[in-house]
Structures are given as C-alpha cells and as structure tokens.
C-alpha cells in the first residue's frame, strides 16, 4: 500500500516511514500541507496519515477542503492532543478514523485495514505466492477454488511472513509485531498461530517452515 504521511516532525516522520516500510508499505512524507497537496496531485495514495497541527495550517481544514473537492482518499487523523473534541471534530470533517499519538503500529495496521475494508478495497490488496492468493482486506487465502478465511492474527502473521518471503523470523520478532505491547504473551503463543496458519495453507504450495533455534519462514514447496 502507498501511504502519504503528513507530519511536521521530520524525525517522527522518518521513524514512522521506516516502520511502515517494514510492513511492506510505501510511504511519502510531506512536512507541510503545501507539500501534501503536491504529493496528492502527482500520485494516487491508498491512505493519508494526517497530523492535525502543521506549520502552515490545521490538518482538519485541509481535510475539509479535500472532501469539499470530492477527493475521497481515506484519511486517518493523527492527533497529539487526544482531546475528545479533536476526535469528534475530525470524524465530523470526514476523516475515516483517528489514532492518538504515540500509537501502536499493530493498532495503526488494524485501523488502516478496517478503513480500507470499509472503503471496499485498495487498488491492489491481493498477493500471489506459490499456489495461493492472499487477500489482506478480505482476510482470505484462495487455494485453487477454495477460499479459506483467516483470523486476524493468522492474517497478520501471513502478512509479516509474506512481506519478505523466505526470510526467517524469530519467535520474539513475530510476537513483537503480532501482539500489541500491552498484551503479555509467552513465546510459545506464536506456535499456536503458526500451527493454525500451516493448516490454512495446506495444499497451497507454500510451506511454513520451522527453523529450529532460529524461527519461521515461508517458502514455496
């Protein structure tokens, strides 16, 4: 997916961009509303992450003008003040959702997916690998004619594994990305989801391989 991140703090923007890139997304960073307009004119985006307070204006005004111009790229507002007035007004002005800084990337991921699912899909939400097609928005894997539904964490696990197929991920790494940080989970919890995903992927031509002492990786059979 392609994100436009409108955020005046360069460090934060860089960090967020790196983090999103880790998930396999493409991110452009606009530090001002002016920049944001240029980016939007030059390329289509699946989602805009819009900060409220920007050097050259209020993100909500920008959003309002975008909506007024019938440009309806999904927008998730990022608020730092987190006052309820901000939350409500952002939704009133046409934001699809909001997220309070500092945010949990797992939550951001979930919100993005929810927004896109509501908006009925991004341009390309499907990926093909080995013998199956993975639809992240629909949360399904298509193997031949058979559509298998994935639960949230199975989907997330598959998403992570598919972002760099063949790369081995340690249990710890997967836990860090799969669970919210306020959930205390044991390292073994990941085995449950790995087991489930394996069953979902049976007959798909792809194999979720356990590398003893290292972790897991997804490889074609």
Partner 1 sequence: MNGWLRLFDPARIASLRRRLVWQFLVLSAALVLGLFLTVGWVADRASRASQDAVLGAAVTAITEGIRSVDDGLELDLPYATFSMLGAMGDERIFYALAVADRVVTGYDDLPAPPEPALDMVPIFWTADYRGARLRLSAVARPMLIDNRLRPVTVTLGQTRLGQAAIARDTARSAAWAALVFLVVALPVALLAAQAVLSPIRSLAEVMGRRGPRDLRPVRHPTPRELAPLLRALNGLIARLRGALDLAETFIFEAAHRIRTPLSLVRTEAELALSETTDEATRIRLRRMVRAIGESSRSANQILDHAMVMYRSDQFAAAPLDLAALTRAVVRAVAPLADMRDIALSQAGLDSPCPIEGDERMLEIALRNILDNAVKYAAPEGRIAVSLRREGPMAVLRVQNDGRGLSDDPAQLMARFRRGGNVGDIGGSGLGLTIVTEVAAAHRGRFRLEPGEREGTCALLHLPLA
Q: In the complex, which residues of this chain contact partner 1 (CB under 8 A)? A: 9, 11-12, 15-16, 18-19, 22, 53, 80-85, 87-88, 91, 97-98, 100-107, 109-111, 113-114, 151-153, 156, 170, 172-173, 176-177, 180-184
Give one word for 17, left, alpha or beta, with left for phi > 0 and alpha for psi -120 to 50.
Answer: alpha
Q: Residue 43 or residue 152: which is nearer to partner 1 going by CB?
A: 152
**Shortest CA distance to 149 belongs to which of 158, 141, 137, 159?**
141
Q: Is 220 left (phi over 0), alpha (psi -120 to 50) or beta?
A: beta
Minimum CB distance to partner 1, residue 14 (Å): 9
Match 């987190």 to its residue by tokens. Answer: 82
At its nearest, how many Å lie between partner 1 and the CB of residue 191?
14
Nearest to 1 by CA among 58, 42, 56, 46: 46
Nearer to partner 1, 43 or 172 (CB): 172
Within 10 Å of residue 69's Cβ, how many Cβ atoms? 8
What is the b/e burial string over 149-170, where b = at least 16 CB atoms within 10 angstroms of the residue's CB? Answer: ebeebbbbbbbbbebeeeebbe
Tokens linked to 150: 């994935």
Rounded Cα–Cα distance for residues 216 and 44 (Å): 35
Residue 42 CA to residue 101 CA, distance in Å, equals 28
Given the complex with partner 1, which of 40 and 108 has the nearer CB atom? 108
Pick between residue 71 and residue 181 the one whose CB is nearest to partner 1. Answer: 181
Sign of CA dihedral 148, 131, 124, 191: positive
Please, which residue, 72 or 176, has the CB nearer to partner 1? 176
Residue with smaller CB distance to partner 1, 46 or 97: 97
């Amino acid at each position: 997916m392609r994100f436009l991140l409108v955020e005046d703090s360069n460090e934060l923007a860089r960090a967020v961009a790196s983090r999103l890139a880790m998930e396999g997304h493409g991110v452009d960073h606009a530090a001002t509303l002016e920049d944001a307009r240029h980016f939007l004119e030059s390329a289509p985006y699946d989602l805009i992450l819009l900060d409220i307070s920007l050097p050259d204006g209020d993100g909500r005004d920008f959003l309002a003008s975008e909506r007024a111009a019938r440009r309806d790229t999904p927008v998730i507002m990022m608020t730092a003040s987190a006052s309820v007035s901000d939350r409500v007004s952002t939704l009133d002005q046409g934001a699809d959702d909001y997220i309070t800084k500092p945010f949990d990337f797992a939550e951001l991921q979930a919100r993005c997916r929810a927004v896109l699912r509501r908006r009925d899909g991004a341009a390309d939400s499907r990926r093909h690998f080995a013998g199956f097609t993975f639809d992240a928005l629909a949360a399904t894997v298509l193997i031949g004619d058979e559509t298998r539904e994935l639960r949230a964490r199975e989907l997330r696990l598959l998403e992570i594994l598919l972002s760099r197929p063949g790369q081995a991920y340690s249990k710890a790494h997967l836990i860090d990305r799969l669970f919210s940080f306020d959930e205390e989970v044991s390292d073994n919890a990941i085995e449950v989801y790995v087991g489930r995903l394996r069953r979902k992927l049976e007959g798909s031509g792809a194999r979720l391989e356990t590398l003893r002492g290292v972790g897991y990786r997804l490889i074609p059979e």
